[in-house]
């Protein structure tokens, strides 16, 4: 009896589409995990201890207020929106539906865990450090939450980085796969950059958030790899 949907039934699984194969060599993921955790610890120590890092944060925030062109602020607004709760949800849910329809439910679940877990980690860290946001003026209203680490930066690297890795599994050439991964992490970096440009986060908030997001992404990929085996 012929298949009801031959185009779907006979389509080969995309290269590296299995959830346990995302992210490259295990040694690379472990190295990134260790490095990102060390980076987060360094930024957290600098923020708590004060000194040159805090002074640099304040200097950059003041420069943004007095010297940042308005056109750059408007360029940053779309990235800060897409990196927030609403924007990320609008991106993640259709991606999960698409993955499930492609019979990649494990990857869809991984995406959900990365997105939700990132937010949980950031909320916990914010309350732990309780750093106030820049008070020298911002282009948009300041959120009521604490400043360190940046949830947008963590979300950008973890979620959009993973989306880039997923997109790369459907690339037909090495160049295409590298471009997909680069695009995902570039969007994540721009999300973090937008928070400094709009002066709702200090530079160290964003860098620490990016480290936290990368660490969580690596943890999820490593656990998924173990479960897949």
Q: Which residues are catalytic?
A: 152, 201
Which DSSP letter does residue 215 get? H
Count CB-CB contacts under 10 A for residue 93. 14
- Per DSSP, the residues of 141-179 read PPPSS--SS-HHHHHIIIIIHHHHHHHHTT-SSHHHHHH
Residues 54 and 31: their CA atoms lie apart, in Å, by: 28
Main-chain dihedrals φ then ψ at residue 62, nearest 5 degrees: -70, -40
Q: What angle do CA 145, 150, 151 make, to 5 degrees?
A: 75
Name the nearest CA neighbour of 79 among 211, 190, 225: 190
Residue 121 CA, chain-centre distance (Å), reads: 12
Name the nearest CA neighbour of 119 among 99, 89, 77: 89
Half-sphere exposure of 63 (CA within 13 A, CB side): 10
């Amino acid at each position: 009896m012929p298949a009801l949907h031959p185009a779907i039934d006979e389509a080969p699984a995309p290269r590296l589409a299995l959830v346990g194969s995302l992210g490259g060599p295990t040694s690379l993921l472990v190295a990134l995990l260790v490095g990102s955790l060390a980076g987060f610890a360094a930024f957290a120590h600098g923020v708590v201890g004060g000194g040159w890092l805090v002074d640099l944060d304040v200097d950059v925030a003041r420069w943004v207020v007095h010297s940042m062109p308005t056109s750059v602020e408007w360029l940053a607004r779309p990235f800060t929106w897409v990196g927030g709760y609403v924007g990320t949800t609008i991106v993640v849910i259709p991606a999960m539906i698409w993955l499930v329809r492609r019979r990649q439910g494990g990857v869809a679940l991984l995406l959900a865990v990365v997105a939700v877990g990132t937010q949980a980690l950031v909320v916990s860290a914010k309350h732990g450090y309780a750093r106030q946001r820049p008070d020298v003026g911002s282009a948009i209203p300041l959120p009521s939450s604490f400043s360190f680490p940046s949830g947008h930066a963590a979300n950008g690297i973890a979620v959009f980085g993973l989306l880039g890795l997923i997109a790369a599994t459907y690339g037909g050439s090495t160049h295409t796969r590298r471009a997909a991964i680069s695009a995902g992490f570039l969007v994540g970096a721009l999300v973090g950059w937008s928070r400094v440009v709009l002066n709702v986060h200090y530079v160290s908030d964003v860098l620490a958030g990016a480290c936290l997001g990368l660490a969580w992404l690596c943890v999820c990929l490593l656990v998924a790899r173990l479960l897949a085996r």
